């Protein structure tokens, strides 16, 4: 799968998610706190240049070799993000990135065009739990704040596993697989 075909598939998924949000928001009650959950790496931001630059080395190696790397926005996902915000859906990022990367992640998301999200949920430094566990738990915490998660969108099955959303949307990631 080429980078271009991956973007094309991401557009298809983002369009389906946008249609779902549009339909669902029309039928929501006025007091409902609606939310969407987005993953970051290879979903909201592309790390293609860094991955290519290091020969598709591991993520820890990427962060050591390129500590100030800036991923670029995946445009169809940025458009979905902006649409969700425009129609009153709070957007949460849940990522496997650890808290030590918080400042760089906020800077990168902002630089790429993502702004005014509800929260950026990162993992404690040294976290060893699998994504399918911590991401489900993090979505539960969002629901405990009174939000109803309409959609959860990510590039890994582990981003989408577990509880708490009405609908999941998976974008392609031809580069790696996370448990």
Q: What are phi and psi of 173, to 5 degrees?
A: -140, 100
- Beta-sheet pairing, 90-98 with 119-123: parallel
pLDDT of residue 91: 98
What is the dihedral sign for C-alpha 152, 101, 45, 116?
positive
* DSSP at 149: E
Q: Which two tokens stand for residue 154?
A: 């990510």
Distance CA 164, CA 150 (A): 9
The range of the structural domain enclosing residue 23 comes to 3-170
Name residues of the chain where pLDDT drops below 70. Answer: 1-7, 67-69, 179
- Residue 51: how many CB atoms within 10 A of its CB? 20
Q: Is residue 63 part of a domain?
A: yes
* DSSP at 22: H
Percentage of the residues of the chain whose pLDDT score is greater than 70: 94
What per-residue string of b and e applies to 95-112 under the rule 16 or more CB within 10 Å gives b? Answer: bbbeeebeeebeebbeeb
Q: What is the pTM of this model?
A: 0.91
pLDDT of residue 179: 66
Q: Is residue 164 part of a domain?
A: yes
Question: By the 8 A CB rule, do 6 and 153 touch?
Answer: no
Q: What CATH number is given to the structural domain containing 47?
A: 3.40.50.1000
Separation of CA 78 from chain center:
10
**Residue ranges in 121-169 assigned as alpha helix (H):** 131-144, 157-160
The tens digit of pLDDT for each residue in 83-134 reads 999 999 999 999 999 999 999 999 999 999 999 999 999 999 998 899 999 9
Q: Is residue 22 part of a domain?
A: yes
Distance CA 56, CA 53 (A): 7
- Beta-sheet pairing, 33-38 with 147-154: parallel
pLDDT of residue 48: 78
Q: Is residue 179 part of a domain?
A: no
Q: Is residue 158 part of a domain?
A: yes
User: How many domains does the structure of the chain reveal?
Assistant: 1
Residues 6+ apart with CB under 8 A from 54: 61, 62, 65, 66
Separation of CA 42 from chain center:
8
């Amino acid at each position: 799968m080429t980078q271009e075909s991956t973007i094309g598939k991401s557009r298809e998924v983002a369009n389906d998610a946008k249609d779902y949000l549009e339909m669902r928001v029309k039928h929501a009650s006025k007091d409902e706190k609606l939310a969407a959950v987005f993953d970051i790496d290879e979903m909201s931001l592309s790390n293609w240049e860094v991955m290519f630059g290091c020969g598709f080395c591991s993520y820890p190696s990427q962060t050591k070799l390129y500590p100030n790397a800036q991923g670029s926005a995946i445009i169809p996902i940025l458009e979905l993000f902006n649409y969700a915000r425009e129609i009153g859906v709070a957007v949460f990022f849940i990522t496997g990135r650890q808290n030590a990367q918080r400042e760089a992640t906020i800077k990168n998301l902002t630089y790429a065009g993502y702004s005014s999200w509800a929260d950026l949920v990162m993992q404690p430094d040294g976290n060893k739990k699998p994504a399918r566990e911590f991401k489900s738990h993090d979505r539960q915490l969002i629901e405990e704040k009174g939000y109803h998660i309409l959609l959860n969108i990510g590039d890994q099955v582990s981003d989408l596993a577990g509880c708490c959303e009405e609908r999941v949307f998976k974008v392609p990631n031809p580069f790696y697989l996370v448990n």
